[in-house]
Structures are given as C-alpha cells and as structure tokens.
Chain A
Amino acid sequence: MSNDVLLHVESAHGALKKSALEIATAGRRVADQLGGQLVALVAGSGVDTAPLAAHGVDKVLTVEGAAFDRYTLEAHGAALLAAAEQVAPRAVLLAASVAGKELGAWAAARLDRGLVADAIEVHADGEALVAHKPKYAGKAHATLRVAGPAVVSVRPNAIAPEANAKAGERVALSVTAPEARIRVESVEAPGTKQIELTEADAIVSGGRGMGGPESWNLILDLAEVLGAAHGASRAVCDAGWRPHAEQVGQTGKTVSPKLYIACGISGAIQHLAGMSSSKVIVAVNKDPEAPIFKVSDYGIVGDVHQVLPLLTDAARTFLA
C-alpha cells in the first residue's frame, strides 16, 4: 500500500462540484501528514480539472465515456475500484453527498476498508486515520480511528477550500463499466432553482408558526434576498404545506450552513438534531420561552408576519 490519498470527485455537466475542492483541501492535508501524493479520480467527460490542481491535487485520473457522465453506483464503483487498484491509497476521500455516501460505503465493503461516514474533520496520526463525526444527529461528536486502510466521506461545508498549487497532471484511466443492473430512466430537474439544502451556505426555514402554506412567500422572499436555500420543520411537511424533501431534522436533512434562520419553529430536539451544527443560528419566534432560543446566537421575539418583511426589506438594502 502507498501513503497516497485518493479522492472521488463529483462533477455535473463538465463542472466540478463545490465539494470537490473541500475534499481536495482535506486530502492535501492528510497526504502531507502521510508523506504521500494526492490523486483525484474524475469520472465523467470533459470536466475542467484545473481547480483541482489549484487546490493541492498532484495527479488527476480521468475516466471518460458516456457510462460515467451521470453518477451510477455501478459505473463510478468500477472506476473507483480501478483507481484504488492503481494507487493503492491509504485513504479514499469522498463527499458525504447522496452519491458519496452510497459509493463510499459500497467501496469500503468491496475493498475491506474501515469507513468513517460524514466526517467533519480528518487527519493522519502516524499511519492511522483519525476523524471526527457527529453521532445521534449531532447530539454527540465521536473521534474515530482507522488503523488500516480507510474510506472517509466528508460532510459538505465542513471544510473550507484552501488554494495550494500543484501539478494536477491529467492521466487517462481506462475503465469498462459493468453491464448495468441499475438504469437511469429519467431525471427531473427541479422546478424552481432551489439551492440544495445540504450544500447551502445559508438556509431560511419555516415551522408551524408560519400559520399556513399561504405565508410561505415570506420564507421564499427572505431566502431569495439572502441567496439562501429554504427548509421546513416536520410539522410543516407532515401537514403537506411543503414537500418532504425540504424537511430539516433527524428524519429529514442534516444541514450545517454558515447561517440558519428558524422562523416559527419551536426547536424540538429532533429539529435541532438536523441543524444545530450550523455556524450561526437566528430564531424568530413569538414565544420567548421557545427552546429554539437556547441554541440561537441571535433571537428575535416577535410575529413572523411582521418580522420577516422587516428583515427582508432591511437585507435587500443592506446587501444591495
């Protein structure tokens, strides 16, 4: 086995995902600690890999072909196994996205490696890999140690990209995708240009205190002005005011944006579970005793119907 670190990098329509530079930054650090190289696997045609070289990647393995352009576990799994065979890395890093969690776990089992899923920090200690990850939906933080070869998926937004110019030389890797048992029949693009909750820098979320779906424009307007994604509590999704995909919390999405604005959300433990690792939390609630204020950095006691228009207007001028 080498002391190298292998990244599985995600891209869409020829462009790297934001997470690519986050895992490159984490990977560079680990590779330096191990005294190895940082190698990135890019499966998909015509991807601009220059940003990888600018963020610490020594070498880029490219796998091209129509079978790899859209992520499927089978095609990207085959590419990752081929790259792992060539590089024999001590650590494989992926983004803890839908694809990265699925592929990381699958590859860890195929390669008989220890897995840390959804890490928020990772480093090498001698030859071992040490990572921190939230458990119990963020109610506790674990330190995990993998003595042997490892696979680590890294939570989006947990690591800030750092520039570090390296060669990033591209080398083609030839991989044959296996016969597909999983076929993508169709893809629906989102109706509105909704920012992905788990990757968003800022999120505006609404709860039952919004009063009903007819008030949601207050959430959407503020989100638009801030360039934020929008989410909801379970009470709201269960009532059918908003789709399930927008639910934040223990049985919804776990998010860690820089800014989370909770509007008319009481702060039940299952909701906090999904968002308490946000960097800054702002709460708007008419009840000064609402538990959400216990985890908030800034609290506004007031009615969402009055406060949100004030905040949206102020933000529009402030950010102009």
Chain B
Amino acid sequence: MKIVVCMKRVVDTETRVKIAPDGRSIDLGGVQFITAPYDEMAVEKAIQLRDAAGSGEVVVVTVGPEAATKELRTALAMGADRALHVVDESARDASSTAAALAAAIEGVGADMVLCGKQATDDDDAAVGPMLAARLGLPCVAFVDGLDVDGGTAKARREIDGEVEHLSVTLPAVFTAQKGLAEARYPGLKGIMAAKKKPLENVAPADAPSLVETTSLELPPARGAMVAIEPTAAGMQQLLTALRNDKKVI
C-alpha cells in the first residue's frame, strides 16, 4: 500500500487576521503555523491504512516555503515514511498548486493519494479533485470513512444530507472530511526516528496561477448587540425584531 498525502502549512486557526500593507494578503507578523487540520487527519488515516495492510509506504508532500520542513518532520514523527518538499515561496492558486503537486508525485506510483478536504487558509476544497484530473485518477472528496479491500477502496461520505457508500477502483484520490481519523500526537520515539527519515527537496514545476487576488479585506463589521431579557416578554420582543426589523422569520 503506497499512499501519498498532500499537506499544507497554513496559519494557525487561532490567528486573528490582520491585512498586510499590500492589501492583498494577511500580515504574517507573529503568526504561528500548523499543518492544515484536515491534512493532519489525512496523514493519520494513511498511517492507519498502511499499518492495516502490513506493508507499504506513506509519502508526505508539500508545496511551500523552506520553513514547511517543520510540518513535514512532524508528519514523519507521526509515522510517515518519507517526505517530498516542493520548495516554493510564491503564493499559488489551486490550479498552480495542483500542477506542482502532480509533477512531484507522478513518479511515486501511489495506490492512493489523500488530501485534506480544504486548506484552512484559501478554503477552496479544490486541490484534491484538480490533482485527480491531472493524474487521470478517480476522485471522491469529503470522505469520512475509508477502507481498502485489495484493489478497491470503500469510501463513505455525507452528501446532501444522505450518506453515500462508494467503491472505487485504485489508484484514486480522496479528500479527508472531519470524522475520517483523529491525528495522533507524535511521541518522543517518533520525533527521534523522524530525524533520520528521508526528506527530499524537489524543484517546483512551472505552472501559472489563473486567478489573481486583487484585494483582501476584513469582513464587514456587525452592528451593536441588542440585549434581550431572559423572560417571556423578552422572547416576544426578540421574535418581533427578527420578523419586523430583520425579516428572517
């Protein structure tokens, strides 16, 4: 079972966003970075599937700055076997990222490619299906259950309030939804072992971004809060306001 996991270094979910002076990106001063939460779930699931198969390899790959080595090492400490780092400082759109990832993993010969459902910065939920299109592989996005049975994967996902059970011919691409796996904390032994695991730098493929970010702003501020008494009369006042002032009920 050879599984590639695509993981992105993103700003911590705790970050209070400030807009940078260029008006098109966020101010990274003092910001902490993490592996995107869904990508961590994908790494965990890959490790579990490899261990269940009893053999194989988990290859983690990122397109990102030099500093993203830290997140790759964390994935190795969790139990991934090796890492590919497409070293790239530029801001790419989803198309360009997918092209760079496809070039980096084409030669790996993966039975399965796992992505997170979305990177928690751009929130596109796009790179997984785009990668599948580029690699010519089937894709199921937003899976919260995944098992392998020979050359077939069994996937589960929620779609339109229904639950779908799919069987998919491998190799294939899946993206991880909450519920797929809970990422483990790497132990000391894992951290020590990770230092010796292979981490290979790869030159980025030349792929243009097709979408330009022309501005980034804070969302419009909300008006002042109206305090409502926790009484029957208060509830009446609230319902009246929701109907007459806000027109939402």
**Residues of chain A whose beta carbon lies under 8 Å from any beta carbon of chain B:** 12, 17, 71, 73-74, 97-99, 101-110, 112-118, 130, 133-148, 181-190, 194-196, 201-202, 226, 244-245, 247, 250-252, 254, 258-259, 269-270, 273, 276-277, 279-282, 293-303, 306-307, 310-311, 313-315, 318-319
Would you call B239 an interface residue if the criterion is a C-beta within 8 Å of the partner chain's C-beta atoms? yes
Docked CA distance A250–B120 (Å): 7
On whether the beta carbons of B164 and A187 are closer than 8 Å, the reply is yes
Determine whether the beta carbon of A117 is less than 8 Å from that of B124.
yes
- B219 near A277 with CB under 8 A, answer yes
Chain A residues closer than 8 Å to B246, beta-carbon distance: 259, 279-280, 297
Evaluate contact between B95 and A181: CB separation under 8 angstroms: no
Please list the 8 inter-chain residue pairs (A to B) with the smallest Cβ-Cβ separation, ordered nearest first. A302-B230, A114-B210, A109-B133, A314-B235, A105-B126, A105-B129, A109-B130, A244-B179
- State whether A137 and B123 are in contact (beta carbons under 8 Å apart), knowing that A185-B166, A251-B178, A310-B231 are contacts in the complex: yes
Pick out which of these stretches binds chain A: B80-88, B136-144, B185-193: B136-144
A204 to chain B, nearest CB (A): 12
Q: Would you mind naming 26 contact pairs between A and B with Cβ atoms under 8 Å apart?
A: A98-B159, A101-B126, A102-B129, A105-B126, A112-B210, A115-B94, A116-B211, A136-B120, A137-B13, A139-B17, A139-B219, A144-B211, A182-B138, A184-B166, A187-B164, A202-B249, A244-B179, A250-B13, A254-B123, A258-B248, A282-B238, A298-B227, A299-B225, A310-B230, A314-B236, A318-B239
Do the beta carbons of A140 and B19 come within 8 Å of each other?
yes
| Contact call A252/B178, Cβ cutoff below 8 A | yes
Interface residues on B, range: 35 or more
- Is the beta-carbon distance between B121 and A135 smaller than 8 angstroms? yes
- Assess whether A106 is in contact with B164, with CB atoms less than 8 Å apart: no
A280 touches B248 (CB 8 A): yes
Query: Are A140 and B17 neighbours in the complex by a CB distance under 8 Å?
Result: yes
> Which residues on the B side are within 8 Å of A17 (C-beta)?
160
B122 in the interface (beta carbon within 8 A): yes
Q: Assess whether B32 is interfacial by the CB under 8 Å rule.
A: no
A114 to chain B, nearest CB (A): 3
CB atoms of A141 and B216 under 8 A apart: yes
Q: B37 contacts A251, CB within 8 Å?
A: yes
Chain B residues lying within 8 Å of A190, measured Cβ to Cβ, are 161-163
Interface residues of B (CB under 8 A from A): 11, 13-17, 19, 26, 37-38, 93-95, 98, 120-134, 138-142, 144, 154, 157-169, 172, 178-179, 210-219, 222-223, 225-232, 234-236, 238-243, 246, 248-249
Contact pick for B242, options A117, A118, A245, A259, CB 8 Å:
A259
Q: Which residues of B contact A294 (CB under 8 A)?
A: 225
For the complex, would chain A's binding face be called helix, strand, loop or mixed by DSSP majority? mixed
Whether the Cβ atoms of A105 and B248 lie closer than 8 Å is no
Q: Are A140 and B138 in contact (CB under 8 A)?
A: no
Report if A74-B138 is in contact (Cβ < 8 Å); known contacts: A105-B129, A106-B133.
yes
Candidates A73, A143, A270; contact of B140 at CB < 8 Å: A73
Residue among A103, A188, A252 facing the most chain B CB atoms (10 A cut-off): A188
Task: Please name all residues of chain B whose beta carbon is closer than 8 Å to the beta carbon of A259 when the two chains form the complex.
Answer: 242, 246, 248-249
Q: How far is the CA of A98 from the CA of B165 in the complex (A)?
A: 15
What separation, in Å, do the CA atoms of A254 and B161 have in the docked complex? 15
Identify the closest chain A residue to B40 (Cβ).
Answer: A251
Known contacts A140-B216, A146-B212, then 11 further A-B pairs from the complex at CB < 8 Å, ordered by chain A residue = A71-B159, A106-B129, A109-B95, A114-B95, A117-B124, A139-B15, A142-B216, A143-B217, A146-B211, A245-B144, A269-B14
Contact at B218–A298, with CB atoms within 8 Å? no
Give A184 to B38 CA distance when docked, in angstroms: 24
- Cα(A247)–Cα(B218), bound, Å: 25
> Which residue from B130, B160, B214, B215 sits with its C-beta under 8 Å from A105?
B130
**CB pair A185 B167 closer than 8 Å:** yes
* B241: nearest chain-A partner, CB-CB: A298
- In the complex, A250 Cα to B38 Cα: how many Å? 10
Q: Are B217 and A109 in contact (CB under 8 A)?
A: no
Query: Do B123 and A134 have beta carbons less than 8 Å apart?
Result: yes
Q: Which residues of A contact B172 (CB under 8 A)?
A: 181-182
Q: When the two chains form their complex, are residues A299 and B228 in contact, meaning their CB atoms are under 8 A apart?
A: yes
For the complex, give the distance between the alpha carbons of A247 and B144 in Å: 13
- Distance between Cα atoms of A313 and B37 in the complex (Å): 40
Complex: chain B residue closest to A111, CB-CB: B133
Which among B127, B169, B240, B249 is the interface contact of A226 at CB below 8 angstroms?
B249
Output the nearest chain B residue to A72 by Cβ-Cβ distance.
B166
Judging by beta carbons under 8 Å apart, are A181 and B138 in contact?
A: yes
Does the CB pair B238–A147 fall under 8 Å?
no
Q: Is the CB of A293 within 8 A of B225?
A: yes
Instruction: Report the separation of the CA atoms of residues A186 and B11 in the bound assembly, to the nearest whole angstrom.
Output: 38
**Chain B positions within 8 Å of A226 at CB level:** 249
Query: Which residues on the B side are within 8 Å of A202 (C-beta)?
Result: 248-249
> Considering the chains assembled together, what is the distance between the CA atoms of A313 and B159 in angstroms?
33
Q: Which of B16, B120, B230 contacts A300 (CB 8 A)?
A: B230
B161 touches A194 (CB 8 A): yes
